[in-house]
A and B are shown apart, each in its own frame.
Chain A
């Protein structure tokens, strides 16, 4: 159901793209009118990022193309996309930390005009005008590395405006923002729209999609599965289109009564990040912790793994107090941690699968005098590869050659090999395709059935609803609510988060 109010600015028609035989996009098409706010919704692995690359000219589609103002096939390269007024704001913002706000905003505009000399007043004027358009005042001379994440995002938006953007593509723009910052971002998007700048808002978070978008396009497994005015959708319907499932996954098997407490956390405090956070986790229990960004969920995860020094509080594993000053302390206490950012924090990309799994077990396979018992280590490694069904040519293949789901299984294998009493999974299925996601959830269920205490930290609501016995909702560094898993719908939980 295309928008017919005015001639479209961007028209995507029949775009297909596959990588090495794997279909990333198949026959996707929709239009974006000037000033329209379109939401591109979909789970991780649904093809959103490939579509962004096609739109910004980084990737050429196998079939189909992008028309601008009715002229077909206008986007052949990144340069074309920029010339056409398409600006992408990546999740890392791509700013220059060592330059001033004004320079960051005006740099590409001045460069594209072929300027050789710096015109400071002109740069300030360009930047001031851009900030005027978004209705925010900021010190233009400040160095960008001193700004908050939200302000950096503003600088990126203003840079897009200064480069004469007619369509701004925002890739998961709210992942690093606090609630209040999300609200002001949404206000800015409305303002841009009124100003005639179209926005393609790429997200998988249901609540914010409804708040800002006029039109919603849903991708699933590389294909467009729904398109229409935002009013045509409701939370449940949108969730259905994104996941292909009518209701949340079946709740986990009930937790048998009387299981011992493995982890006890009492009144953790840390600056602005954590306030009086207490929780307890039983053996065999899967505890979900959810909240928006800045709610303290990641700070709590880091505190549990010795990465965040605490002001006060007590953490006990199996009834024994533990002092967590470093990840080593946490591991020694029996706590494992699957980090949020798999690529930089979790994996040694260029090293082999075997080494990636073995790195946590090197000290456990000592044969005396510091030597490793290679045969027992190899046995253990291949055991885990089989158990977690890691698909690869052989154990010596570098991890970077694996798919996201297999990579995550390698990280899981490393931790499972250490047989932790408590396993903290931070965003366990981010960037993992839907099939692997179900597998990883099955692993979680099996681990808990075997008596491990598991904490799943995630903002993926179907995930926490479907895998956790109990769910704690965090907000502004506090635990504000506790609900039983499977006891409420995704929409209800989303409302609790945003409340």
Chain B
């Protein structure tokens, strides 16, 4: 028997700069900074670092960053949520219908405030209900997450189409635009929403029993059951939270577009998966940090804005996203790291 001096110790909780740079998050931070610098140098006339561009970026990324948070939770349990866009649009349409039918675009003052509050409640309710449906399909009926969320995603988008006939819902009170376009002390409201949600998810994952159970369940569902983790409750709550986050993203998208439609944000599904994979969230479950996700979001937004200034088309951006996803997977070597 070995002597006690070798016995494992709890790690010291201090910051080690050298180790950080070599960690996955550290590497990503370096990449993010490099992309920022490269774009600042490449974009003509220093436009990339202009206040206008920085602010416009801060308005752009929160909507898909919030969707990526929703995707991240599903991935941490070892699943995936292909229905996030469907949930975002369906819940946004619910909110839009409340707004346009209740008081109409002319509502001001207290009426508008009430209308907006009701709309937010309606959208969150739809998002949470949709998440519950996912959780039940996966946790209770035992469908593989890909199939379950493929099916529910089609249903959510389908319902959105069926309700609206496929056209956009418009006519919101001006107050509603604050969610997507407003700023508090110069900080864009969508950015504040994302920052709060990201911090909340990070706290939930690291500081609550539920968050740790999510990661344990994602690592080995069978061992989690044997360790007394209530797998059904954890799965349900994860997908419910994921649905709620998607609904918030839907509200931001709707407010920025000043309309709600069944097919908004179609390219965000790939983007949210890309962000997760780039941010080091293991697609097989169990591992991932919000910090990584935030860095991935920033680097993609820098890249996207920079390419935009370099007159690169939207289609080319799609190409670059795809190439990046493949490249990151190859570099991270997820295939070899599979533990189960």
Contacts and interface: CB of A to CB of B under 8 A. Distances in A.
Asked if A pairs with B, the answer is: yes
A348 B216 contact: yes
Nearest to B285: A350
Contacts of A351: 215-216, 219, 286
Contact of A349 (B209, B226, B287, B339): B339
Interface string A111-146: 000000000000000000000000000000000000
Interface stretch (A154-162, A218-226, A357-365, A458-466): A357-365
B230 A372 contact: no
Given A345-B223, A386-B4, A381 B212 contact: no
A62 interface: no
A393 to B, nearest CB: 7
A396 interface: yes
B220 interface: yes
B49 to A, nearest CB: 39
B2 interface: yes
Interface in B226-260: 226-230
22 contacts: A305-B226, A339-B226, A345-B222, A345-B223, A347-B220, A350-B219, A350-B286, A351-B215, A351-B219, A353-B8, A359-B227, A372-B207, A382-B9, A382-B10, A389-B1, A389-B7, A391-B6, A392-B7, A394-B8, A395-B9, A400-B339, A414-B227
A107 interface: no
B234 to A, nearest CB: 11
B334 interface: no
Given A351-B215, A391-B2, A392-B8, A328 B222 contact: no
B61 interface: no
A271 interface: no
A385 B8 contact: yes
A433 to B, nearest CB: 11
Interface centre among A337, A348, A414 (most CB of B within 10 A): A348
B210 interface: yes
Interface string B135-172: 00000000000000000000000000000000000000
Interface in A326-363: 327-328, 330-331, 337, 339, 344-351, 353-355, 358-360, 362-363
A359 B10 contact: no
Interface centre among A358, A385, A389 (most CB of B within 10 A): A389
A339 B220 CA distance: 14
B225 interface: yes
Contacts of B7: 385-386, 389-392
A355 B8 contact: no
A359 B229 contact: yes
A370 B222 contact: no
Given A330-B228, A339-B226, A385-B9, 13 more contacts: A327-B225, A348-B219, A349-B339, A350-B219, A355-B215, A362-B209, A362-B212, A370-B210, A372-B208, A382-B9, A386-B4, A392-B8, A395-B8
Interface residues of B, number: 31
A397 B11 CA distance: 10
A378 interface: yes
A439 B219 contact: no
B289 to A, nearest CB: 14
A212 to B, nearest CB: 34
Interface string A192-213: 0000000000000000000000
A5 B219 CA distance: 54
Nearest to B232: A326
B213 interface: yes
Contacts of A392: 6-8
Interface residues of A, number: 47
A371 interface: yes
Contacts of B6: 391-392
A70 to B, nearest CB: 41
B224 interface: yes
Contacts of B230: 328
B213 to A, nearest CB: 6
Q: Which 3 pairs of residues, A with B, have the shortest CB-CB distance?
A: A362-B209, A392-B8, A350-B339
Interface in A8-60: none
Given A394-B9, A395-B8, A363 B219 contact: no
Contacts of B212: 355, 358-359, 362, 372
Interface string B188-226: 000000000000000000011110110110011011111
A360 B227 contact: yes
A346 B226 contact: yes
Contacts of B287: 350
A389 B1 CA distance: 9
B8 A360 contact: no
A366 interface: yes
A390 B7 CA distance: 6
A484 to B, nearest CB: 30
A176 B323 CA distance: 48
A345 B8 contact: no
B8 A371 contact: no
Interface string B1-40: 1101011111100000000000000000000000000000
A467 to B, nearest CB: 18
A366 B228 CA distance: 16
Contacts of A439: 1
A381 B7 CA distance: 12
Contacts of B223: 344-348
A327 B210 contact: no
Contacts of A394: 8-11
A374 interface: yes
A395 B210 contact: no
Interface centre among B212, B220, B228 (most CB of A within 10 A): B228
A231 interface: no
Contacts of B227: 327, 359-360, 414
A323 B115 CA distance: 50
Interface string B282-311: 000011000000000000000000000000
B286 A348 contact: yes
Contacts of B228: 327-328, 330-331, 360
Contacts of A389: 1-2, 4, 7
A359 B222 contact: no
B208 A370 contact: yes
B222 A391 contact: no
Nearest to A350: B339
Contacts of A382: 8-10
Contacts of A339: 226
A349 B284 CA distance: 13
A393 B8 contact: yes
A256 interface: no
Contacts of A345: 222-223, 226
